[in-house]
Chains A and B, each alone.
Chain A
């Protein structure tokens, strides 16, 4: 698997897993203008991020253009243990998509 854009820190504690993830992404809103040409820079942002654990969706985010650059999302779900894997799927508004995995620590 190619190196992904997501950086994930997942920590299991007391039967719960706390996940913090950050995506390296410009999140271009489509409202900015190119200073040289004066034209609008087309929007390019992450639309969806879905997190699965043991085949079950534990979290899903549908995002708009107002999420900041290099988006950060933190959440907690019940279950999960050290060494288990999370599958993270992201979809860009351009249709680009990928699934990345991360280990729970």
Chain B
């Protein structure tokens, strides 16, 4: 009896672990971190890999707030805002960085399309914010001058 009890407990434990894994898997899959996009060396390539296209439409509804001159490239505060409805994601690109894609922010329904963060810039570059809404890509760009670079050493 004790033997069979042991096996049952073991079976339950494995089953539990499998169940846990199957529950966790979709959540991991949803949080897809695109290695291809993040390691792309040029902006168009990164956009293609991340958003499936590099056809952007300049839009006044996308607000990119960034300093004109960043004294320290290691910390450049940036805010992206959009008044558009159905915003799915916001991504930020720095053209002259070794890997232009900085970050992608998922914005589920109910979350405001208003994200601020701080990024690293190697040298003066154009910062582009891309907002994906209704399957289309809208963008706003701004030139940021960097006096001290934040990449390399």
A interface residues, Cβ below 8 angstroms from B:
16, 27, 29, 31-33, 35, 47-48, 50, 56-69, 71-79, 91
Contact = CB atoms under 8 A, between A and B. Distances in A.
Interface size on B, as a range, is 35 or more
B102 A59 contact: no
Interface of B: 30-34, 38, 74-76, 79, 94, 97-99, 101-108, 110-112, 114-121, 150-153
Label chain A's interface by main secondary structure.
Answer: strand
A76 B112 contact: yes
A73 B117 contact: yes
Contacts, number: 116
A33 B121 CA distance: 17
A35 B153 CA distance: 9
B112 A78 contact: yes
Contacts of B75: 68-69
B151 A68 contact: no
A93 B94 CA distance: 21
A27 B150 CA distance: 12
Contact of A66 (B106, B107, B121): B121
Contact of B116 (A56, A62, A74): A74
Contacts of B110: 58, 77-79
What 4 A-B pairs are tightest by C-beta distance, nearest first?
A60-B106, A77-B111, A76-B112, A68-B118
Nearest to A79: B110
27 contacts: A29-B120, A31-B151, A33-B153, A61-B106, A62-B32, A62-B33, A62-B103, A62-B104, A63-B102, A63-B104, A64-B101, A65-B99, A65-B120, A66-B94, A66-B102, A67-B102, A68-B75, A72-B116, A72-B118, A73-B117, A75-B107, A75-B111, A75-B112, A75-B115, A78-B112, A91-B31, A91-B33
B114 A61 contact: no
Given A77-B112, A78-B111, A31 B105 contact: no
Contact of A48 (B33, B79, B107): B33
B98 A75 contact: no
Contacts of B102: 63-64, 66-67
Contacts of B99: 64-66
A9 to B, nearest CB: 13
Nearest to B91: A62
B120 A68 contact: yes
A75 B105 CA distance: 10
